[in-house]
């Protein structure tokens, strides 16, 4: 009998009651918990930070968060983004979710490469190429379409409420290793590591491809918040509307050296100037001080891209889903879907021996 077919002799709880244990309660952990619960699994999330918290290392509290097709990704990764779009489009019918449909205008500095964000035209609605008269002559081309934006200050509490209503449990606890989790849940056979940057320091993971990448955005209060603008090229500038909070998020910046929680006003002024050039109808050159506030968060980035895989460790299955950098929201529900299928496979092996 092979290792994976060994009948576990120490199960105290029946299959249906053994919780799937998720380390991390960011957008990846919470989206996955919701999906597993909807499929009838019992789920426990263990995390230092929970929905509603505001620590700069809890990236999910600070995202823009726009659905934008990523360039340079595999076909499977594109599909994760497409599934996310499908789920979020439905969520947008409920204002409590914090998800909204908005218009988008994307201007490209160069001709799009075949593996660029252009693939997203199969997912978004109302995609059309803009005419040269519709954009500045500094750009090579432009696209208009409808996309989705998520307000994390609403979405994370919404998810927490759904998870609890479906019977999921949150435990606030910092752990130093996955081993600690195995000891906390001796009956569980499936563990999901959705700890974001935590995977750099967990003693039995120590993934040195993970690295922190600081983001700092400006939140501008305005009622002109129905169109997203994105400059795609050497310059990385966006204006992301947040209709339910009556404002727009201006960015962006990615810093590896500076991890300060303090606002860098030079960066803020530069972001306002860039956003003004990109969307002068929305962003004034000198916004009133009381219309401006700041958002600072650390992206859980990973060289080579995010990790999504399954490992067998003795009689436990450990699924890893971390390293989403600046795209965790745009991948979230597709990753939750993929992990749910991986959990089904793992539990099938535990039950059908
Ligand atoms: C300024 C900014 C703008 C962004 N804009 C966008 C955008 O427009 N679109 C988009 O898709 N994404 C965007 N992102 C990226 C997005 O926020 C992240 O990719 C996403 O939030 C990552 O989610 P996560 O669940 O992997 O990690 P996190 O949200 O960081 O959650 C990690 C979880 O693991 C827990 N944890 C870690 N280590 C331990 C431990 N040892 N013990 C216990 N718990 C632990 C934490 O407490 C937390 O609960 C942006 C990010 C920033 C900062």
**Is the predicted pLDDT of residue 104 greater than 90, yes or no?**
yes
Higher per-residue pLDDT: 330 or 349: 330
Q: How distant is the alpha carbon of residue 113 from its chain centre?
A: 25
Query: Which residues line ligand 1 at a C-beta cut-off of 6 Å?
Result: 23-29, 47-49, 58-60, 62-66, 174-175, 194-196, 198, 202, 215, 217, 295, 297, 299-300, 322, 324-330
Average pLDDT of span 334-340: 98
Q: In this prediction, what percent of the chain has a pLDDT beyond 70?
A: 97
Asked whether residue 79 is marked as a ligand-binding residue, the answer is no
Higher per-residue pLDDT: 114 or 76: 76
Q: Each residue of 321-338: b (16+ CB within 10 Å) or e?
A: bbbbbbbbbbbbbbbbbb
Which tokens in the block code for residue 140? 């090579």
Which tokens in the block code for residue 130? 């803009």
pLDDT in tens, 126-174: 999 999 999 999 999 999 999 999 999 999 999 999 999 999 999 999 9
**Is the predicted pLDDT of residue 7 greater than 80, yes or no?**
no
At residue 12 the predicted structure's pLDDT band, cuts being 50, 70 and 90, is confident
Cα 130 to ligand 1 centre (Å): 34
- Note the pLDDT of residue 204: 97
Residue written as tokens 């989403």?
324
At residue 17 the predicted structure's pLDDT band, cuts being 50, 70 and 90, is confident
Kindly report whether the peptide bond that precedes residue 252 is cis, defined as omega within 30 degrees of 0.
Answer: yes
Beta-carbon neighbour count of residue 173 at 10 Å?
A: 12
What is the spatial distance between Cα 54 and Cα 149, in angstroms, rounded to a whole number?
20
Asked if 271 and 251 touch (Cβ cutoff 8 Å), the reply is yes
User: Of 55, 24, 85, nearest to 330 (Cα)?
Assistant: 85
Q: Mean pLDDT score of the chain, rounded to an integer?
A: 95
Q: Determine the atom of ligand 1 nearest the C-alpha atom of 325.
A: 19
- Note the pLDDT of residue 9: 52
At residue 351 the predicted structure's pLDDT band, cuts being 50, 70 and 90, is confident
At residue 6 the predicted structure's pLDDT band, cuts being 50, 70 and 90, is very low
Q: What is the dihedral of CA 247, 253, 255, 260, to 10 degrees?
A: -30
Sign for the pseudo-dihedral over CA of 251, 255, 261, 262: negative
What is the spatial distance between Cα 58 and Cα 172, in angstroms, rounded to a whole number?
13
The β-bridge partners of 317 are 190, 312
Q: What is the dihedral of CA 262, 177, 153, 259, to 10 degrees?
A: 20
The β-bridge partners of 313 are 316
Question: Cα angle at 196 between 270 and 29, to 5 degrees?
Answer: 115
**Is the predicted pLDDT of residue 4 greater than 70, yes or no?**
no
Cα 58 to ligand 1 centre (Å): 5
- Note the pLDDT of residue 134: 94
Average pLDDT of span 264-288: 97
- Taking CA atoms only, the protein residue closest to ligand 1 atom 18 is 328
- Note the pLDDT of residue 3: 40
- Taking CA atoms only, the protein residue closest to ligand 1 atom 2 is 63
Q: What is the dihedral of CA 296, 297, 303, 306, to 10 degrees?
A: -140
pLDDT in tens, 188-220: 999 999 999 999 999 999 999 999 999 999 999
Cα 51 to ligand 1 centre (Å): 11
Q: Which domains does the chain possess?
A: 20-351 (3.40.50.720)
């Amino acid at each position: 009998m092979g290792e994976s077919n060994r009948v576990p002799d120490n199960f105290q709880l029946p299959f249906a009651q053994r919780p799937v244990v998720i380390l991390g309660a960011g957008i990846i952990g919470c989206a996955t918990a919701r999906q597993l619960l909807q499929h009838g699994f019992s789920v426990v999330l263990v995390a230092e930070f929970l929905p509603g918290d505001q620590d700069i290392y809890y990236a999910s509290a600070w995202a823009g968060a726009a659905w934008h097709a990523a360039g340079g990704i595999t076909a499977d990764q594109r599909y994760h983004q497409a599934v996310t779009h499908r789920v979020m489009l439905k969520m947008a019918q409920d204002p409590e979710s914090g998800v909204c449909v908005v218009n988008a205008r994307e201007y490209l500095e160069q001709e799009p490469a075949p593996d660029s964000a252009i693939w997203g035209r199969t997912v978004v609605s109302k995609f059309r190429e803009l005419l040269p008269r519709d954009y500045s002559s500094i750009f090579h081309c432009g696209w208009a379409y409808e996309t989705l934006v998520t307000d994390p200050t609403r979405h994370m509490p919404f998810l927490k409420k759904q998870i609890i209503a479906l019977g999921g449990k949150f435990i606030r606890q910092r752990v130093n290793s996955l081993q600690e989790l195995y000891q906390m849940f001796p009956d569980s056979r499936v563990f999901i590591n959705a700890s974001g940057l935590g995977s750099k320091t967990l003693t039995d993971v120590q993934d040195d491809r993970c690295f922190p990448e600081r983001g700092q955005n400006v939140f501008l209060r305005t009622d002109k918040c129905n169109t997203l603008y994105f400059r795609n090229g050497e310059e990385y500038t966006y204006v992301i509307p947040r209709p339910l909070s009556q404002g727009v998020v201006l960015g962006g910046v990615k810093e590896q050296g500076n991890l300060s929680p303090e606002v860098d006003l030079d960066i803020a002024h530069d972001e306002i100037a860039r956003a003004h050039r990109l969307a002068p109808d929305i962003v004034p050159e000198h916004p009133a001080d009381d219309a401006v506030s700041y958002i600072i968060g650390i992206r859980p980035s990973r060289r080579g891209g995010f990790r999504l895989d399954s490992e067998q460790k003795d009689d436990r299955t450990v699924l890893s889903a971390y390293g989403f950098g600046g795209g965790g929201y745009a991948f979230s529900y597709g990753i939750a879907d993929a992990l749910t299928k991986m959990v089904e496979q793992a539990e099938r092996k535990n039950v059908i021996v």
